[in-house]
Structure 1
Amino acid sequence: MFTNAFKSILFLSPAMVCTITFGQITENNTNKDNSKIITDSIKLDTVINVKKEQLEFIVDRESEDERHDLKKRTSYFLRNARVTYGDMSIYADYIELNWNTGDVYAEGKRDSIGQIIEPTKFVQGQQEFTQDAFKVNFKTKVGIAYNVRMTEGEGVITADKVKRVNDSIMYMNRAEYTTDSYFKDGKTSDRDYFIRTSPGKLINNGENKTLIAGPTQMFIYDIPTPLVAPFAYIPLGSKRSAGILMPKPGERSDLGFFIEGIGFYVPIGEYWDIKLTGDIYTKGSWGLRTESMYKKNYRYNGGFSASFEKRITGIKGLTSGNNTFNKNDLFHVSWRHQQDPKSNPYTNFNANVNFSSSKFYQNSINTQFIQNNQVYTNNINSSITLNKKFKDSPFSATLSMNHSQQMNQNQNVNTENLNNNITLTAPSLNVNMSRIYPFAPKAGAKKGLIQNLGIDYTLRGANEIRTNDKDIFTKTMWEEQSRIGTNQRMNLTSGVTLFNYFPFSFSSTYNEVWSDRKIQRIYNPLNQRTSDNVIKGFNAYRTFNVSANISTNVYGTFLNSNKEAKIQGIRHVLSPMVGYSFNPNFQDPSWGYYQSYEGANMEEIWYNQYEQALYGISVPQLSNSLTFSLLNNLEMKVKDENDPKGVKKVKIFESLNFSTAYNFSATSFRLAPITMSGNTSFLDRKVNVQFSGQFNPYKLIFEPGKDTGKYIDELALPRLTNFQVGTGYTFDNSTFGGKKFDEKNYSKRGSIRDENFYYDDKNYAHFAIPWSVSANLAYSYNKGSNRNGKSTGTVNLNGKIKPTPYWDISAMTTYDFIENEFTMLNLNFERDLRSFKMSFNWVPMGRYKYYGFMIQIKSSILSDLKYNDRSRSRF
C-alpha cells in the first residue's frame, strides 16, 4: 500500500512542480502522451522583447494532451487546445506558451502533406479572427498572424500577414476586402469580387473602425480590373465616418462630358450629418448640392437638401437655330421633418417643404429626375404645420405655412412671364371646436331636438400671396400680391327619428368673413373697359342658411322557391331622401354687399365688392330649394358549391345614386341637372368599377350650321352631358388557376449561388416565376352643350416578372385608346449578381428618351463604388 502511494507521488510530482513553479494554471488534464513534441514549421517574426514579469490574469486552458518543459518554462497544448487569458481566447490544434516572456504561438491542424486544414481562432471581446498560425504576447498584446480572416461589419478582410500593435491598431500585408455574403457566411471559398491593397492599416476605436489602405485595385472573379486608386479609406464600424464620395462619369451631347456627385460626407455629432456634392460639365454647366439628415430616436427625424445649377447649352453668340445659346439658373430646396407622435401627445410639429424654380425638374442638369420620372412633375406643394390639442377641451389649433407651385411644362415659355404660378399662405391659423351638446343630459341617451342640438365652431385666418418667380420675396409680393382674411363658421345640428322609420335632421350655418380689402368697379368710356380699384381697410360681411332633410330605407326582396335554382334571391334597398334649404338673398342692395356702376349703355350693373377678398369669392343669392336624392343597393344570392354555406352574395350595384334640386326662387331653370354616381365590382370583388355622370333636363336648340347649342327653359328628355368611369385589376400567377410554387415538393436544393433552385428526382431545376400585370382604365366623355361629345381614354399598364431567381424585369406604359398611341414606355431590367446589382433603364419613346446602365456593389459601405453609363437626355 505504501509502495503504491509512493509511486503515485512520484508520478504526479512533475505536474505538482509545474503548478507550484508557474503558479498561473488553474486546471490540469490527465491525458498523457509521450510522443515527440510538434515544433513550429513556420519561421516566426520577432515580436517585441519584454521584461520578465508576472502575467496579469490567470491562464485557463484545456486540450487533449499537454507537455511542460521546466527548463524552458514552456507549456505545449496539443489537439483541440484552448487557452484563455483575460478577454483573449485562443483555439488551435497546437498552442505553445512561454511563461517567462508571455509569448503564445498557435498553429492550425495540418494534413499529411503539411497543409493547414483547420485554422486557428483568436477571440477578444466580440472580435473573432481565424488564421493559419499566429504569435501573440499576453503581456504587450502585440502579435503576428499569417493567412488571417476577420469579419468586419458587412464584409470580410483576409490578409497574408497581420501585425497586431495593440487592441486598436493592426498592420496588414496584401490585404483583401469583400462584402460577398456567400463568402462571409462560409458558403463558398470563391469571392465574386474583392479589393486588394498593400499595405493596410486597421484602426479600431470601439464602434468606429476604419481601414486605411495604400494602392488599391478591384478584382472581379479573380480578374484584375482597371479600377485602381492610389489610396482607399473604408469605414467599417457601426458609427458614421467621414469620407470622399465617388463621382459618376458620363457624357451628354447637350451638356458634354461630365462627372456627377463628386464630394464628401461628414457626420456632425451623434444625430446629424452633411453631404456636399458637385456636378461639372465640359460645356460650362455646373451644379452644387448639399444634403443633410438628422434623427433622434423617439423624438424626431428629417432631412434638408438644397441645390443650385447653372445650365448652359448651345453655342455662345448664336441667337437662333438648334444651337441657340441659353443660360439658366436653377435652384431647389427641400426640407422634411417628422415628429414622433409619442414624444408629445398634445403638440406636434411636421414639415414637408419642396420649393424650386419653375423649370427645375424639366431642365435640371442631373439626370436622376429622368430616371425617377420627375420630369413630368406638374406641381409641387409644401407645408409646415404646428398642431396643438388642449387637454380636457374641445378646442384644437393649427398654425401652418403652405406653398403651391405650378411647374412650367412648355419649354418655349419664358419663366419671367408666368402669371402668379406660386401661391404662398404664410401664415395660416385654424382653430376648431369639436361638436358639443350643451343641452344633453350628463347621463343617459339624448332625446328630442333640443337635447340632440350640437354646436361646432371653426376659425380660419391666413395671409395668402399669389406671385411668380420674378416677384418672389420682393417688395411687390409683400405689398401688392398679398391678401389677408378671416373666416368664422358656426354649425348647429340636431336630429330625431320620426315614427321609428324616418330619420329627420336639421342644420343651420352662420358664416362671417373679415377682409383687408374691397373693390370699386368703374367703367371708362374712353377705352370702353372696366377697372377695379382696391380699397384697403377692414371689411366684414355675414351670411347664414338653414336646411332640413328626412330619409328612410325601403327594402324589396325576392326569394326563389326553387332551392336548386342558380339565383336564390334578390334584395333591393332604396334610400330616398328629401331635403329643404333656404338662403336669404344677400345680393339684395339692402345688405350692402353688392354695389353698382353705370355700363356703356348707362345701364346699372351690380357687382360683388368682396369678390377679391380672401374667403369672400361668392355671396349667395336667394335660394329656396327642395333637394332629392335616391340611393340604391342591389345584390343577389347565387348557389355556389364551393362556398361552405352553399350560397354566396353577389353585388350588382354596391351603390347607385341619383340627386337633383328644385329652386322655387329661381326665375328660370329651376330644376338642377341630375347627377349620377355609383360603383360595383366583379370577379369576387377583385375588380372595382367607379362611375359618375350628369344629365341636363332642359331642351337644347342648335342654330343652323353651328355645333354649339343653347338650352331653353323647357323640360325635355334628360341629356347626358358628361360621364366618367374608372377601373383596375392586377393579374398574377393565381389569376388563371396557376398553382403556387411549393419548395416542399422537392427533396434537393442547389448550393452556393443556386440555392434558390430546387431539383426533382431527375435533376431538373425548378423555381418560382412570380409575375403581375396591373391595368388601370380611365375613360371620360364630355358633351356639354355641343352637338358632338369628346372622349378621352387611357390604359395604364404596369408589369413585373421574375423569369429566374436573379432577374427582375418591369415595364410601365400608358396607351391612349382614343388617339390609338402609346404616350410613354419605361423598361427596367435588374440582375442580382450576388455582391453586385446591375440595372438597365430604357425610355424608348416620348419627350424624354433615355437609357441608363448601372452596376453597383450592394453593400451600403461601398454603395458609391459603381459604374454608371447614361445616354444623352433630351429636353
Structure 2
Amino acid sequence: MQTNIPYILFCCIFILLSPSLTTAQEIDTTSGIRIEAERDTLVSVGEGIPLAQTIKLQDSIIADSIPQPQGNNLLSDRVDYKATDYIRLSQKENRMYLYNNAQVTYGDIILNAGLIVIDNNKNEVYAFGIPDSLGDYTQKPVFQQAQKTVEPDSIRFNFDTERALIYNSRTQEANFNVRGEVTKRENDSVYFMQNVRFTTSEDVDNPDYYFYARRIKFVPDKKIVSGLVNMYIADVPTPLGLPFGYFPMTEEETSGFIIPSFGDSNNRGYFLQNGGYYFAISDYVDLLAIGDYYTNGSYAMNLESNYNQRYKFRGNFSFRYEKLLESERGFPDFAEGSNYNIRWSHSQDAKSNPSSRFSASVNLGSSDYYRESVNQQNTGNFLNNTLNSSVSYSKTFEGEPQVNLSLAARHSQNTNTGIVNLTLPTLNASMTRIYPFEPKVGAKKGIIENINFQYNLRAENRISTYDSIFFTPKMFDEAIYGAQHQIPINTNFKLFNYLSVSTGASFEENWVFETYERSYDEETNDVVRDTINGFDRFSTYNFNANVGTTLYGLVNFGSDKKIQAIRHVMRPNISYNINPAFDQYYDQFEEINPADPDQINLIDYSRFDGTLYGAPGRNFSSSIGLSLSNSLEAKVRDKDSTATEPKKVTLLNNFSIGTSYNLAGDSLRLSPIALRGGIPIIENKLTVNLAAQMDIYALDNNNRKIDRLNINNGGSLFRFTNANVSFGYAFSSKDFSKDTENKDESENETYRNGGRPDDLFGKGTNLDGSFYEDDEDPFEDGEEREVNSEWYKYEIPWDLRLNYTMTYSNNARQNEITSHSLMFSGNVELSPKWSIGASSGFDIRERGFTFTQLRFARDLESWRLNFSWVPFSQRKSWNFFIGIKSSILSDIKYEKRRDRDRRL
C-alpha cells in the first residue's frame, strides 16, 4: 500500500492541475458515490482509532525503508504532506488519513482541506472540510496553482476511470466567478456542471446579479456552452433569458458584436448609436467598426484601430464620416450636409532606434465637425477653434560635427474661418556648432576662442486653402515653395569680470522658384501681376550684440525673526540690433493717378513679394533693446520644528520690464513698455500671471498715436494700453496627503482630439458608458480601500479646478474690459459608491453662464451607472447609462440619450 500512496496523491493533484474546476455537465446521479458537503460519510473521524495507529510527522513511516518499484515514476517533483492533528495509516481499511489543516504540496500545487482521505482499495481520493466545535462546516478544500484557486465543499476522484466529482465548486475563470453545485470531469479538457451560477461579481455566494444555468459544458480557457440561461438580479429572476448561451472564457481579445444604444432626436427621429463589430485581428492590432442610424435617413460610420508592438511603437487611428439630414425630405426646412474627422496618433519607443524617430499626431476634418457631430463623445472638444496635425521623421548622424535631419508635414485649421494651412513637407537640416579656434586642451577663453558658427537649412512647400476644397486638386493652385540657408556666427566673453557679452552676425540665403512682376494696364486701369517661373534668390544679413549681468541685494532681519532675510535678484540686459536695407531687390512701375489722369505715380515693389519668405527689408533699422527682470525671495522660519534650515519662499517670480528704441526712426522711436510677471500665492499650485503694456506717446482727436509725449499732452507719464490677469488653480483632497498620482495624458481621448487634458469643459463618455478617466477609481492608487463609514465624512475625496482671466483694453481710449470670465470644474465622492461632478463657468462681462455639464456616477459593485446632463444652451441634452462593468458582458446595458434640439 505504501508504494501506491505517491501515485494516488499524484492522481489527486493531476485532476486539480487544470486551470479551473468550475464547470460541469449533466450528472448521472445513478452511478458513483455522492459526497455530502456538510458531513463526511466515509469515516467517523476520531472514533475507535488506537493510539498506536496514529503516526506523528516525525515518525519513521515517512522515511519508508521498503524499496520502491522499478520503472516509470509519474511523479516529477517532491510530494510533501502534513496535518495539524495527525496523519494516520489504516492497514485494515487500506487508507491514509490527514486530519485538521491537512495540506498536500506538489511543485506549485497546494491542496488544503480539513480532511484528506486516500483509499487504496477503490483507487479514490477524497478531500473535504470538517465540523468545528459549533458544528459549522469549516476548512473546506482549497486548491491553488500559481494564480488559480478552486474552493469546493468536497472533491472525489477515481484513479481507474480518471473521473472526478466536485461539489459546490467556486472558482474564477477569465472575468467570471463561477459556482457549480456538482462538477464532473469527463477528461482533462472537458468538464460538465449542474445548477451553475456565473457572474462577474466578486462575491460568488451572494452576488448582486448572476446567470443561472441548469446544465453547462466547460472547456478550460476557451468557452462555456449552456442550455437555458436566465438572468437573476438580487436573486430575483428577470425576463432576460436565452434558450442557449455561449460565453468565451479566454482572457485574450475576441471578435464580437457591439450592441448599440438608442435614443431620440427632435429633428432626426429615433436613433441607434455605436452599434457594430469588433475585430480582434491579432495581438498587435485590432479594429472597431461601428455606426449610427436615424429614422429620418441620417447615418454615420466610424472606424477605429489600435496597434502596439512592445519596445517598438504604438498608436491609434480613427476615421468618422457622417451624413446629416435636417427634418424630412420635401419639407421646406429640409437640409442635407456631411462632415468627417480623421485622427492618427503614433509614437515610437525611444529604445527601438535612438538615432531616428517617427511620430504622428493628426487631427483634421470638417471645420464644423465638433459642433455638428451627432454622436460626439468628446464633450469638451466642441469649443476647439483650431485643429492641428503633425507627422515627422527625424534622423541624427553622429560624428564631428553632428548633423540633425528632420522631415515633417504639418496642418493647421481654423474652424471659425475654415482656412487650412499646410506644409507638405518641411525639411530641416542643421549642423552642430563648430569652434574653429578652440584650444586642443582646456576650456575656451576670450573672444577668439569662443567664435563659433552653425549651418541650418529649411525647405518647405506651403499651401493655404479652405476646408471646402480640401483634398481636391484646387488646393495646390496657390502652393508656394522655397528654401532658406542660414549661417549664424557668434562669440561671447567676459567684460570687467562682471558683464557677460555676446555678439554675432547672421547670414541668410533664400531660394524661391516663382517670382512676381508687376505692371500697370492702362486699358483696365489695374495692376497686373505676372508669375515668373524659375529659380531666383536673395541674400540678407544682420548684426547683434548683447550685454547682461546679475545684481544681488540682501537684507537680513536676524535668525530669530519669522522673516529672516529678503533677497532681490535683478538681471539687466542691453541689446543692439542692426538690419541693413536691401534696396537692390526693389523695382518700380508707373501708375496713372486715378484722381488726376495727367499725373504719373511711381510704385515701388519687389519681385519677391508673395513668395515663401517674403521680400527682404527695405528700411534700415538700428535699435537698442532694454530689459530688466526681477525676482524677490524670502527666507522664513520653517513651521516644522525639526527643520535645520529656513524655508525659501518666492514673493515675486521673474517680473520683467522691457522696451526698445529705434535709432534709425524719424518718429515714435520708443516702443511700448511691456511688463510681465507672476505672483506666487500658493507654492507650486497657484501663481497669478500679470501682463501689461504702457505707452509714453499721446493720442490725437482721432485716437491715433502721435509723436508727442502723453505727459506733454495733458496726460500722465504713461498711458496703459492693455493689461491681462489670469491664473489657473487645481487642488484636491490628495493635496493634504502624501499620495501622488501621475496620469498619462496621451490616453485621454479629449486631449488627443485637441482639447484640454482636464474636465474644465466637461467630460465625454466611452463606448462602455463610463466617463473618461473613470475606468479606475480616480481617488485610489489601484489598491482596494478599506472604508470606515463612521469616519468617512472626514475623508470625502474631492477635486476642484479654477481658471480665471480678465483682459483690459485702452489702445484707442475705449477704456473697457474686453473679457472677464471664471471657469470651474469639480468632482466629489459623496460616499464610497456615489460621486458627482460639474463643469461650468460664468462670463462676468456678459453676465451669463458658459457651457455647463452636470455628472452623476454610481458604483453598483458589478454594475456602473452614469448620468450626464447639459441643462441649458444650444447643446442641451442628457444621457443615462447603466451596464455591467466587465468587458465580457459590456453589451448587457441600458442607455438612453436625448439629443439637443438643433432647430433652436
Under TM normalisation by the shorter chain, which class is it? 0.7 to 0.9
CA contact (8 A) 2:266 2:901 kept: no
Choose 388-397 or 769-778, whichever is displaced more.
769-778
Q: How far does the alpha carbon of each residue in 1:457-507 deviate from its partner, in whole angstroms, 9 at most, with x for none?
A: 2211112222233423332223x1322121222211111111112211102
Equivalent residue in structure 1 for 2:280, among 267, 280, 285: 267
Q: Where in structure 2 are the equivalents of 1:47-446 lying within 5 Å?
A: 57=74, 64=86, 75=95, 77=97, 79-80=99-100, 92=113, 102=123, 104=125, 106-109=127-130, 117-122=138-143, 127-138=148-159, 141-181=162-202, 183=203, 189-204=205-220, 208-319=221-332, 324-369=333-378, 372-392=379-399, 393-408=401-416, 421-446=419-444
Task: Name 2:726's counterpart in structure 1.
Answer: 726
Equivalent residue in structure 1 for 2:709, among 707, 715, 729: 715
Distance, in Å, in 2 between the alignment partners of 1:694 and 1:86 is: 77
Distance, in Å, in 2 between the alignment partners of 1:642 and 1:57 is: 67
Distance, in Å, in 2 between the alignment partners of 1:332 and 1:21 is: 71
Distance, in Å, in 1 between the alignment partners of 2:198 and 2:618 is: 75
Distance, in Å, in 1 between the alignment partners of 2:142 and 2:566 is: 77
CA contact (8 A) 2:585 2:616 kept: no
Equivalent residue in structure 2 for 1:833, among 837, 840, 860: 860
Which one-letter code corresponds to 1:720 in the other structure?
A: F
Distance, in Å, in 2 between the alignment partners of 1:686 and 1:127 is: 46
Which one-letter code corresponds to 1:193 in the other structure?
A: Y
1:229–1:305 distance in 2 versus 1, CA, 3 Å: farther
CA contact (8 A) 2:4 2:120 kept: no
Equivalent residue in structure 2 for 1:865, among 892, 895, 901: 892
TM-superposed CA distance for 1:775, in Å, is: 2.2
Task: Name 2:764's counterpart in structure 1.
Answer: none
CA contact (8 A) 2:96 2:119 kept: no
TM-superposed CA distance for 1:594, in Å, is: 5.1
Unaligned residue ranges in structure 2 (runs of 5+)? 11-26, 34-70, 595-599, 711-716, 740-783
Task: Name 1:665's counterpart in structure 2.
Answer: 664
CA contact (8 A) 1:47 1:142 kept: no
Distance, in Å, in 2 between the alignment partners of 1:312 and 1:510 is: 58
Which one-letter code corresponds to 1:336 in the other structure?
A: S
1:344–1:23 distance in 2 versus 1, CA, 3 Å: closer
TM-superposed CA distance for 1:43, in Å, is: 8.7
Equivalent residue in structure 2 for 1:493, among 468, 490, 494: 490
1:46–1:399 distance in 2 versus 1, CA, 3 Å: farther
CA contact (8 A) 2:800 2:825 kept: yes
CA contact (8 A) 2:296 2:328 kept: no
TM-superposed CA distance for 1:727, in Å, is: 1.9
TM-superposed CA distance for 1:160, in Å, is: 2.4
The SS at the match of 1:692 is: strand
1:465–1:102 distance in 2 versus 1, CA, 3 Å: farther
1:237–1:45 distance in 2 versus 1, CA, 3 Å: farther
CA contact (8 A) 1:57 1:86 kept: no
Distance, in Å, in 2 between the alignment partners of 1:152 and 1:572 is: 66
Distance, in Å, in 2 between the alignment partners of 1:645 and 1:93 is: 60
TM-superposed CA distance for 1:97, in Å, is: 5.7
Task: Name 2:843's counterpart in structure 1.
Answer: 816
TM-superposed CA distance for 1:555, in Å, is: 4.2
TM-superposed CA distance for 1:545, in Å, is: 0.2
Distance, in Å, in 2 between the alignment partners of 1:341 and 1:658 is: 41
TM-superposed CA distance for 1:440, in Å, is: 1.1
1:559–1:138 distance in 2 versus 1, CA, 3 Å: same
Distance, in Å, in 1 between the alignment partners of 2:635 and 2:785 is: 50
The SS at the match of 1:375 is: helix
Aligned-pair Cα RMSD in Å: 3.7
CA contact (8 A) 2:519 2:589 kept: no
Does residue 572 of structure 2 align to residue 551 of structure 1? no
Normalising by structure 2, what TM-score? Answer: 0.79
Which one-letter code corresponds to 2:705 in the other structure?
A: Y
Distance, in Å, in 1 between the alignment partners of 2:704 and 2:886 is: 68
CA contact (8 A) 2:171 2:179 kept: yes
Equivalent residue in structure 1 for 2:478, among 471, 478, 481: 481
Which one-letter code corresponds to 1:281 in the other structure?
A: Y
TM-superposed CA distance for 1:157, in Å, is: 0.8
CA contact (8 A) 2:8 2:123 kept: no
Distance, in Å, in 1 between the alignment partners of 2:799 and 2:136 is: 53
CA contact (8 A) 1:772 1:799 kept: yes
1:128–1:568 distance in 2 versus 1, CA, 3 Å: closer
TM-superposed CA distance for 1:224, in Å, is: 2.9
Unaligned residue ranges in structure 1 (runs of 5+)? 1-17, 28-41, 49-53, 409-417, 704-708, 742-752
Normalising by structure 1, what TM-score? Answer: 0.81
Q: Where in structure 2 are the equivalents of 1:13-24 lying within 5 Å?
A: 18-19=1-2, 24=7
The SS at the match of 2:390 is: strand
Distance, in Å, in 2 between the alignment partners of 1:594 and 1:173 is: 97
The SS at the match of 1:268 is: coil
1:550–1:161 distance in 2 versus 1, CA, 3 Å: same
1:97–1:794 distance in 2 versus 1, CA, 3 Å: same
TM-superposed CA distance for 1:804, in Å, is: 2.0
1:695–1:532 distance in 2 versus 1, CA, 3 Å: farther
1:248–1:563 distance in 2 versus 1, CA, 3 Å: closer
Equivalent residue in structure 2 for 1:756, among 748, 765, 787: 787
Q: How far does the alpha carbon of each residue in 1:696-755 deviate from its partner, in whole angstroms, 9 at most, with x for none?
A: 22221114xxxxx122222333321111121233465699xx9999xxxxxxxxxxx994
TM-superposed CA distance for 1:315, in Å, is: 1.5
1:770–1:97 distance in 2 versus 1, CA, 3 Å: closer
Distance, in Å, in 2 between the alignment partners of 1:192 and 1:754 is: 20
Task: Name 1:693's counterpart in structure 2.
Answer: 692
TM-superposed CA distance for 1:177, in Å, is: 1.8
Does residue 452 of structure 2 align to residue 454 of structure 1? yes
Distance, in Å, in 2 between the alignment partners of 1:271 and 1:199 is: 37
TM-superposed CA distance for 1:778, in Å, is: 0.9
1:56–1:257 distance in 2 versus 1, CA, 3 Å: farther
1:684–1:854 distance in 2 versus 1, CA, 3 Å: same
Which one-letter code corresponds to 1:338 in the other structure?
A: S
The SS at the match of 1:440 is: coil
1:774–1:273 distance in 2 versus 1, CA, 3 Å: closer
Distance, in Å, in 2 between the alignment partners of 1:304 and 1:91 is: 50
Task: Name 1:31's counterpart in structure 2.
Answer: none
Q: How far does the alpha carbon of each residue in 1:346-402 deviate from its partner, in whole angstroms, 9 at most, with x for none?
A: 111112222322222222221423xx3222222222222111111234211111222
1:428–1:191 distance in 2 versus 1, CA, 3 Å: same
Q: How far does the alpha carbon of each residue in 1:250-295 deviate from its partner, in whole angstroms, 9 at most, with x for none?
A: 2222332222222222322332222222222222222222222221
CA contact (8 A) 1:575 1:631 kept: yes
The SS at the match of 2:665 is: coil
Distance, in Å, in 2 between the alignment partners of 1:429 and 1:448 is: 36
Identity %: 33
Which one-letter code corresponds to 1:202 in the other structure?
A: F
Q: How far does the alpha carbon of each residue in 1:294-349 deviate from its partner, in whole angstroms, 9 at most, with x for none?
A: 21211111122222222222011123xxxx22222332222222111011111111
CA contact (8 A) 2:342 2:362 kept: yes
Q: How far does the alpha carbon of each residue in 1:665-697 deviate from its partner, in whole angstroms, 9 at most, with x for none?
A: 223222222222222223556531221222222
Which one-letter code corresponds to 1:771 in the other structure?
A: W
